[in-house]
Structure 1
Amino acid sequence: MGRSPLLKNKMGKLRITGKDLRSIGFPEGRCVQIAINDLPNRFKKVSHYAVLDLLKPVVENPFDFLEDERFAVTAAALIEQHQYDLKKSATRHAEVSEELLNKLRSLRNENVKGLNEEKVDYPLYGKEFIEQGAINQMEIAVRLPVTVAGALMPDAHQGYGLPIGGVLATENAVIPYGVGVDIGCRMCLSIYDLPAGLVSDQKDHLKTILDKNTLFGAGQEFKNNKDHEVLDNKAFNENPLLKSLQMKAAKQLGSSGSGNHFVEFGIVEITDPNNEFKIPVGNYLSALSHSGSRGLGATIANHYTKVAMQKCVLPQDAKHLAWLDLNTQEGQEYWIAMNLAGDYASACHHRIHEKMAEALGEHPIAVIENHHNFAWKETWNGKEVITHRKGATPAGKNVLGIIPGSMTAPGFIVRGKGNETSINSASHGAGRRLSRTQAEKSITRPELNKLLTDEGITLIGGGLDENPRAYKDIRDVMKAQTDLVEVLGLFYPKIVKMDT
């Protein structure tokens, strides 16, 4: 009997064929074999289908993945193949007329948008902690013709398009890569009226709760899942792209992604006696989660970024900042899809926390939730704008949120101060100081284990790329944004589960 492609061989090695790769757009040539040889070394315990889904944007834009350690070899091979094919094509078609070339250039230039000569001034919070690459990206973003205001948070680092930690207010325009790939990624904290000592006294029980009620990783799905009202959203029936994702979204509801996503038990220390929940100052058992909209959000982001780049052609260094006018059909489609992905991400967290509460036999006495990687219609300086917060937390007046540290550093429960200079925003975490490749080289597994033991942390899963050294000092980040938020309490992680 034939072997299912979802299964691994006895060594757990991924199996991908040339036919699989060609089905998602790989060109014929040496790049196919290079990918077949390299990808199994990059993905462990990830299904055949999930890897093919992840490869689709690599095929479309290989240059975007040269810094991604998972796809760098494959992306380089694709680029080399494309260059080779172009040379062959140029040889065969050397007689293409100048008239035709000019016509093609003219058609392309009809939609080309230029950048403003002068930029919109913007504040940088904690500039000394921000890498130059992120600043360079922000300098481009504030020269877009649609930009009204900008701000850069102290956890900022380089991403695609808008830097992570970047905030950008635009006029009636939404930038898919200004939102990001993991649409609506968020934090959710449940505080229980249970003693903090349970994290040590019942550590094994709490580990079992995490293991039984959470699921992590690219492409991971539950075999059986309950219905949820978010899956009945009419947008699924009104947009063919969303309809094609509905079943997958149903199977992934309540799961978490890879990378820096986590679910953990820890201790909340309430420090402000005037907190909104009327919780007495003290320490409490709590659960904290961080994840987003899974495959649903990623597919929406990649599809509408491609649409935006076709509709709004920008200079090469600004191409990922292509926008969609909200007065257009495409702009409205993305806006509806983005909001659906945000609702879905929230539903994932609610499902996770419902399971945690049921397993504990307790109802939380307080739940705090906030999101990033999103765009909001807001009023700023008396003007309606579209505020993009890519890796930035809403911090309007009295808005509550959680700003996490790392697997060994505390997170902060905060109340926004409504600072319009920052476009009512704050950081979304400590922010990376090392790339994933650098982080993996910065520590060994025994060194990480010792560090965790010294800090009293139990880790389930988690890669070396997420080790605490990869992140900035959250306390320095918080000091750089005292004008933006005030602290109500802290969350100390104790039992952390991440993707393996």
Structure 2
Amino acid sequence: MNKINGADLMAAGFKQGKILGEALAVIAAHLSDMDHASLIALMSDLRSRPEQYLDHPVLEDLATKMIEEAAAPLDATIPLNDKAANYKIYGEAAIDPGAIKQMDYAMRLPVTVGGALMPDAHQGYGLPIGGVLAAKNAVIPYGVGVDIGCRMALSIYDIPYTVMDEDKLKKILVNETKFGAGHGFQGKDRADHAVLDNDAFNMTPFVKQLKDKAWSQLGSSGGGNHFVEFGVIEFAQRDEALNINAGQYLALLSHSGSRGFGATIAGYYTRLAKDLCKLPKEAANLAWLDMHTAEGQEYWMAMNLAGDYAAACHQVIHRKVAALVGGQLLATVENHHNFAWKEQLNGEEVIVHRKGATPAGKGVMGIIPGSMAAPGFLVRGKGEESAINSASHGAGRQLSRTRAEKEISKVDMAAVLAANNVTLIGAGLDEAPMAYKDIHAVMAAQDALVDVVAKFSPRIVRMADDGSKED
């Protein structure tokens, strides 16, 4: 099979972009038996005279696209559809208008084939937080989000919480976790994990140069709403699938993502998408990468690597904590958001973006937290297609960080924590429980999407205490 790459085609006159990616696809599918020199000569001639190939049995479609691209104005803007496609909104009464407006723009993209808005939704960049969007052959970096692969991870121990020494648990969280933007580990304190051996770190020079930073932050957590906490998980009845009897157990719950590694990938590919996919100003942050192009495939690989890295961070944290807590693990449950998946919708493969939304396919387990002083819930998805097999990823903010810091006092926050028997390590007023929606109302708005398996009540909560604002 003839080996030809993007650099060869660029030497033949092609430019980085969608046409180059499609040319590589045509070569792989139809021209791989040609010798290298003849193939380069053919592609160079095609680049120079595409009109001569409009009747070519293999190259006609590519030649047509090349002619259309050459005729398009340099700053051509891709128009949105006149009307937003229909989509389901859950808990609409508690969702701010800005989030709905953003979702309406997303549903007008020419690549959109489905969507839904979860009851914890609020305004973000590009796709709103709590937005679910299915697209045809397109991946939207800001539809995934900055913190690629951000996730929840839960470990359930065979230990009644009542027998635990809370001072010991607090010491474990202080000593074994690290929080905040830019923070990580150095030297012998760095963790080891198989993810560091993933060959995808060598996919491009850009990704490769991020590996050392990723290693230093492996097993750490971000700022903002990221946390690691001990609490009580209560099963009202036995769960056969998890093999856990009714009762109350000690559990560790964590929420964090791919740290600076994922954020840098998100920024790089968002800029690239905006260069290649020019949209009207109001929808500019919804720029996509075509999955048939080299750029789209490159982002897809980098996104999946960031997701694997985020999972590894949680595994390191839970491994370190488990060694000190003792007891046996009854179960572990993990789910991620801020990601894109290849899934089936209406009989065709689509790219489903869940930006701050939990996968909730039939039988799929997930964790939906409330706030530092409100319960979270272990859930099992019902597979509701109108929600694109999704649910909320939390309670959702009702106050912006700025408003929370202005309107909530330290005294009021301390009173809420005390009333709920919560010990807090770190965090600021921007993460106060009152900044979040009522988790019970959010769960009621999505009872068609998930079944509640167990309730988790936070007791000792560790968050960033340096003013970090990562989400």
> TM-score with structure 1 length normalisation?
0.78
Distance 2:445 2:419 in 1: 28
Q: Secondary structure at the match of 1:438?
A: helix
Among candidates 163, 174, 182, match of residue 219 of structure 1: 182
Paired position in structure 2 for 1:356? 321
Deviation for aligned residue 1:382: 1.3
Deviation for aligned residue 1:178: 0.1
Q: Does 2:71 correspond to 1:108?
A: no
- Which deviations, in whole Å up to 9, do the C-alpha atoms of 1:45-97 show, x marking residues without a partner? xxxxxxxxxxxxxxxxxxxxxxxxxxxxxxxxxxxxxxxxxxxxxxxxxxxxx
The answer as to whether partners of 1:381 and 1:420 remain within 8 angstroms in 2 is no
Q: Secondary structure at the match of 1:327?
A: coil
Q: Structure 1 pair 239/287, CA: closer, same or farther in 2 (3 Å)?
A: same
Paired position in structure 2 for 1:205? 168
Paired position in structure 2 for 1:7? none
Paired position in structure 2 for 1:5? none
Name which of structure 1's ranges 482-491 and 353-362 shifts more when overlaid on structure 2: 353-362
Deviation for aligned residue 1:363: 3.3
Deviation for aligned residue 1:364: 1.3
The answer as to whether partners of 1:217 and 1:256 remain within 8 angstroms in 2 is yes
Distance 2:177 2:443 in 1: 30
Q: Give the aligned length.
A: 394
Deviation for aligned residue 1:447: 2.1
Distance 1:468 1:447 in 2: 10
Among candidates 379, 389, 412, match of residue 447 of structure 1: 412
Query: Which consecutive unaligned segments of at least 5 residues does structure 1 have?
Result: 1-102
Deviation for aligned residue 1:450: 2.0
Paired position in structure 2 for 1:86? none
> TM-score with structure 2 length normalisation?
0.82
The one-letter code of the counterpart of 1:214 is T
Deviation for aligned residue 1:448: 1.3
Deviation for aligned residue 1:345: 0.3
Deviation for aligned residue 1:276: 1.3
Among candidates 421, 436, 440, match of residue 475 of structure 1: 440
Q: Does 2:260 correspond to 1:295?
A: yes
Query: Which consecutive unaligned segments of at least 5 residues does structure 2 have?
Result: 1-69, 466-471
Q: Secondary structure at the match of 1:197?
A: helix
The one-letter code of the counterpart of 1:213 is E
Deviation for aligned residue 1:274: 3.3
Paired position in structure 2 for 1:65? none
Deviation for aligned residue 1:271: 2.2
Paired position in structure 2 for 1:6? none
- Which deviations, in whole Å up to 9, do the C-alpha atoms of 1:231-250 show, x marking residues without a partner? 11111112111111100000
The one-letter code of the counterpart of 1:147 is T
- Which deviations, in whole Å up to 9, do the C-alpha atoms of 1:282-331 show, x marking residues without a partner? 10000000000000100000000000000000000000000000110110
Among candidates 240, 254, 259, match of residue 219 of structure 2: 254
Distance 2:281 2:255 in 1: 33
Distance 2:291 2:442 in 1: 34
Q: Does 2:206 correspond to 1:235?
A: no
Distance 2:116 2:237 in 1: 28
Paired position in structure 2 for 1:138? 103
Distance 2:191 2:252 in 1: 22
- Which deviations, in whole Å up to 9, do the C-alpha atoms of 1:358-391 show, x marking residues without a partner? 0112331100000000000001121111000000
Q: Does 2:458 correspond to 1:489?
A: no
Q: Which has the higher contact order (CA 8 A, sep 6+)?
A: 2
Distance 2:232 2:423 in 1: 13
The answer as to whether partners of 1:442 and 1:469 remain within 8 angstroms in 2 is no
Paired position in structure 2 for 1:154? 119
Deviation for aligned residue 1:428: 0.2
The answer as to whether partners of 2:231 and 2:457 remain within 8 angstroms in 1 is yes
Higher radius of gyration, 1 or 2 = 2
Deviation for aligned residue 1:227: 2.2
The one-letter code of the counterpart of 1:221 is G
Distance 2:421 2:447 in 1: 29
Q: Secondary structure at the match of 2:211?
A: helix
| Structure 2 counterparts to residues 403-422 of structure 1, below 5 A | 403-422=368-387
